[in-house]
Amino acid sequence: MKKTLGIILIFLSILGLVYAQEDVLKNIEKKLSTAKDISMKMTITTYSYSSKGESLPTKMSMELKTIKDPEILRVDFKEPAILAGQIFLLDGEKKITRMYSPSTKEIIESPYTMTQTSTTGATSIPMVGESGKDFSITIEEVSEKNQKLYKIKGIPQKAELKAQYSSLELYVTKDYMPVRLKMYDVQNRLYMEIVWDEIKINSNLSPNQLRTLPPGKIIRQKTPSTTIPLPFVAPTK
């Protein structure tokens, strides 16, 4: 009887953990997907490795603002120096993209496709939403700098994902705001780290504010831009 009761308690504990995992992921998805607008600072650090195994980090930081309706995404690059001052604008309502370059004082304007829109979504985070089906996920509570966080670890299940990385770690606040994402390559080395800061939701961002760029000569291209400088979802080899 005691053995049976113990098995039942273990089963209920596991079942409770599964439901807790689903609740955390669903709450993150709901928090981001229902937002009318989002602004944030984002830092992306990618790591390459020398023959001696030393990590060689490359950092890129930006300020990102997005509105759900009309669909507008604006990215102001801060670093590295070669990108500082550049502005990328994706305007879903007008179906165009614009890239402002401070060095040339030019605005490159081109059409865009729906595929580009989906791949640059500001709220697209691995393991959250439909992408969660591609991972084996565990969730635990951790403490960092006197702050309680959820640590969500995902092990890729699809062959194409396994060929890119061994695991992902997403850190989220108790009120379901993303803090940091770590991606590890197939050799279990840190490949990319994304840090989110100063996230604001529903701050009544203005479409005109996001669309306003510094003065510059407009150069129109007939074909969609093939380069979207936002590598903040999945690493590539």
The per-residue pLDDT for range 85-95, each reduced to its tens digit, is 999 998 988 98
Give residue 131's pLDDT band: very low, low, confident or very high (50, 70, 90): low
Is residue 150 in a domain?
Answer: yes
Mean pLDDT of 180-199: 91
Is residue 88 in a domain?
Answer: yes
CA dist 206 and 171 (Å) reads 30
Give residue 21's pLDDT band: very low, low, confident or very high (50, 70, 90): low
Assigned token pair, 112: 């865009």
Give residue 130's pLDDT band: very low, low, confident or very high (50, 70, 90): low
Is residue 22 in a domain?
Answer: no
Is residue 237 in a domain?
Answer: no
Is residue 15 in a domain?
Answer: no
Show the domain range for 174.
Answer: 33-220
At 136 the pLDDT is 87
At 206 the pLDDT is 93
For residue 234, how far is the Cα from the chain centroid? 9
Is residue 79 in a domain?
Answer: yes
CB 85 within 8 A of CB 77: yes
Mean pLDDT of 112-138: 64
Is residue 8 in a domain?
Answer: no
Assigned token pair, 179: 């803090």
Q: What is the CATH number of the domain that holds 191?
A: 2.50.20.10
At 164 the pLDDT is 86
At 203 the pLDDT is 92
Is residue 75 in a domain?
Answer: yes
**Domain tally, the chain:** 1
Give residue 8's pLDDT band: very low, low, confident or very high (50, 70, 90): very low
At 116 the pLDDT is 44
